[in-house]
Amino acid sequence: MRYFQIIGEGILKGLAWKRRIHRVVNWIAGFISWLFVTRRIVPNETTRTGFCLSCAFLVLAGPIAGIADGPPSPALAAVPDNSSLPTLHLVRTFDVKGIVQQINSAQKKAVISHEEIPGFMPKMVMEFSVQNTNELKGIIPGQQVQFQLKVDAEKSWIENLRKEGEAVSQSVAASNSDSSVSGLLQSSRLTVGTPFPDFELMTENGKVIKLSDYRGSAVAFTFIFTQCPLPDFCPRMNQNFSQARTLLMQKRSSPRNWEFLSISFDATYDTPEILSRYAKLYRKNNPRQWLFATAQPEALKKMEPLLDFHFTNEAGTFMHNLRTVVLDTRGRIYKQFDGNSWKAKELADAMVGAAKIDP
């Protein structure tokens, strides 16, 4: 019986791998049940009955687990199809060519203008984490390179970085980029207490709001776009927001005057309908105190120098640095978070402090 129990456990684990395996489970369970009922394998009546009940459980396990056949969630239409990135840390590998724009060995980062990655990412300028900084030795801005981009469900990085051909001149490399690239690996400090100007945003509900609508509440905002392909960029920001919101909601002593804003800078693609579907990936069916919105290009141009936020549109996909800002109840800069290494608890703590300031 232990033998069959192991088989059953294996089948149950397998259910988590493929959505359509439920059909196979139905067939296998029915076939094995027939073998046992007809006494072709197990002569013991009690054991046979028990195993048949186990098979029946397997047949029902698929629908109960929510993996039975059916159309995918409509929210998935708003983002790239990452279904091939399961939770078991399977890694996708892409061979890529490009030209190095910037290097920071201390941060283990490189900004590379890369060619199109078919089926995954268009030609663009991107900041990458470098797995082995020894591979950066001898590589200068303007160098043509080959590398492998590795992507799992939580992060991305590059490996096997090597030179390809001659380096282009520094002037040519600079002309192929723009001033936004220089800000990717730099993070200037914002002045705490500086009043932040008011801006209009178009929400996921199709309504126009202003930042001033939240005076009296702490506000955390970050910048995203729904087609962001790398899990440690925009998706990481949303996951951190989700976890920080949960921490604030679960702690009874937390203030209640706070709001999260995920602001898309892709107003062309990220319509209210797209944003609404995308938001459900992170908020599920609870939109409380977390709004998704878009900022128009005019507003972004004004915000960019104020926040030292850098972005540009490359072939329809955006290159940008990661900057999250917390405003206090008076609309003043309270704290900034750069990059993607900060934790949700740090943001939750900052929100508590900002919300306690007398408006």
pTM of the predicted protein model: 0.67
Read off the pLDDT of each residue in 230-257 and give the average, rounded to a whole number: 95
> Quick one: average pLDDT of 280-302?
92
**What six digits make up the tokens of 351?**
């929100």
Q: What's the chain's length in residues?
A: 359
The boundaries of the domain holding residue 52 are 2-65
Residues 252 and 346 in one domain: yes
Q: What mean pLDDT comes out for the span 124-132?
A: 89
Among 143, 178, 213, the domain-final residue is: 178
Tokens of 315: 């072939």
Mean pLDDT for the stretch of residues 76-98:
64
The verdict on residue 82 lying in a domain is: no
pLDDT band at 297 (very low <50, low <70, confident <90, very high): confident
The answer to the question of residue 74 being in a domain is no
Report how far residue 112's alpha carbon sits from residue 131's, in angstroms, rounded to the nearest whole number.
Answer: 15
Distance between CA 183 and CA 320 in Å, rounded? Answer: 9
Q: Is the pLDDT of residue 139 over 60?
A: yes
Q: What is the pLDDT of residues 22-49, one digit of tens each?
A: 444 444 544 454 344 334 444 444 445 4
d(CA 359, CA 10): 58
Q: Tell whether 78 is covered by a domain.
A: no
Name, in order, each residue with C-beta under 8 angstroms of 273's C-beta and a sequence gap of 6 or more: none
Out of 178, 208, 236, pick the residue that ends a domain: 178
234-250 and 344-355 helices cross at what angle (nearest 10)? Answer: 60
Q: Are residues 219 and 350 in the same domain?
A: yes
Residue 79 lies in a domain: no
211 and 341 share a domain? yes
pLDDT score, position 168: 66
In a domain, 77, yes or no: no
Mean pLDDT, all residues of the chain: 77
pLDDT for the residue numbered 165: 79
Query: For residues 352 and 328, is the Cβ–Cβ distance under 8 A?
Result: no
**pLDDT tens digit string along 167-222?**
765 544 444 444 444 444 455 678 899 999 999 999 999 999 999 999 999 999 99
Q: Which residue has the higher pLDDT, 25 or 147?
A: 147
193 part of a folded domain: no
How many other C-beta atoms can be found within 10 angstroms of the C-beta atom of residue 246? 13
Residue 153 token pair? 């469900």
| Domain shared by 147 and 240, yes or no | no
186: phi then psi, degrees, rounded to nearest 5? -120, 145
Q: Are residues 38 and 116 in the same domain?
A: no
